[in-house]
Amino acid sequence: MQTGVAVPDPGERRSAAASSRPLRVLVVEDERKVAEALRQGLAGEGYDVVVETSGEAAFFRLTTDRFDLILLDLRLPGRDGIEILSAVRRRGLQTPVVVLTARDTLEDRVVGLDAGADDYVVKPFAFAELLARIRAVARRGRPAEAERLTVDTLVIDCTTRRVTRAGGAVDLTAKEFELLLHLTRHARQVVSRDTLAREVWRETARSTTLDNVIDVHVSRLRRKIDAAHPVRLIHTVRGVGFVLREAGSS
């Protein structure tokens, strides 16, 4: 659930259709023949295509690279498409996703759309149909509401991953950004170290070492976000965890 205040910013929305550079598409498909056909077909249409053949590789790719659109097979070995999609949306990435489902089962479609997919195509599909869906989704883009989170003078642009405080750019590492995003998405709620270990560090078990790592990241983040400002946003709740909130709220 998103609790930060959303500020629409139509000016920063990227219109794929209006852009002159090629649309960058990530294809996640474990069947190599299908993946290769998609790569060739989309490249032939002028798209800039990257193919990943496993859920893990796709997930890693999405933490380091940016795309205008994701074509995601739901049935993948290891981390399946739904897991990838949910993780991507939890992290605040609003990249449009078209899901490829193996069968026309209502369940697959509902689960896919619930997890944050924009559209789906049932395999086997006609390439022309897929192209039409891609164009439609890219043109539509994502609603602007989800792209920015604001608490006090802190603004997080989830799409560009740019963070500002009182208008000044804040330079964060990837992990600091994820930590801040998690705290902001759960603003005014106490977030435990357990939750941070699981959601931000993706560790299943807590350890003293990991607790220390979390504390170090929180104090660095606090220095970058709060040090120069009269209103502190990141607060420690002794023995429990952390909370991000503006002054005056509890």
Residue from 61, 75, 89, 206 in contact with Ca ion (CB under 5 A)? 75
Determine if 198 is a binding residue for Ca ion (CB under 5 A).
no
Whose CB is nearest to Ca ion?
A: 75
Map residues 26-55 to x or -, x wherever contact with Ca ion holds by CB under 5 A: ----x-------------------------
Residue 33 or residue 238: which is nearer to Ca ion going by CB? Answer: 33
Strands 191-192 and 241-244: antiparallel
CB of 76 to Ca ion, least distance (A): 6
Query: What DSSP string describes 79-111?
Result: S-HHHHHHHHHHTT----EEEEESS--HHHHHH
Determine if 220 is a binding residue for Ca ion (CB under 5 A).
no
Determine if 73 is a binding residue for Ca ion (CB under 5 A).
yes
Q: Quick one: which of 93, 150, 145, 147 has its CA closest to 116?
A: 93
- Separation of alpha carbons 121 and 111, rounded Å: 14
CB of 249 to Ca ion, least distance (A): 46
Q: Could you tell me if 217 and 209 are in contact, meaning their C-beta atoms sit under 8 angstroms apart?
A: no
- Region near Ca ion per CB under 5 A, out of 67-75, 182-190, 211-219, 237-245: 67-75
Residue 61 or residue 75: which is nearer to Ca ion going by CB? Answer: 75
- Separation of alpha carbons 159 and 113, rounded Å: 20
Residue 75 or residue 135: which is nearer to Ca ion going by CB? Answer: 75
Can you point out the beta strands (E) in 109-177?
Answer: 119-122, 148-151, 154-157, 162-165, 168-170
Residue 233: both structure tokens together:
């946003």
- Separation of alpha carbons 56 and 75, rounded Å: 13
Residue 73 or residue 152: which is nearer to Ca ion going by CB? Answer: 73
How many other CB atoms are there within 10 angstroms of residue 158's CB atom? 22
Cβ burial of 168 (10 Å; 0-12, 13-18, 19+) is exposed
CB of 54 to Ca ion, least distance (A): 10
Residue 30 or residue 118: which is nearer to Ca ion going by CB? Answer: 30
Binding residues for Ca ion, how many (CB under 5 A)?
Answer: 3
- Region near Ca ion per CB under 5 A, out of 18-26, 73-81, 128-136, 236-244: 73-81
Residue 73 or residue 176: which is nearer to Ca ion going by CB? Answer: 73
Which residues sit at the interface with Ca ion, rule CB under 5 A? 30, 73, 75
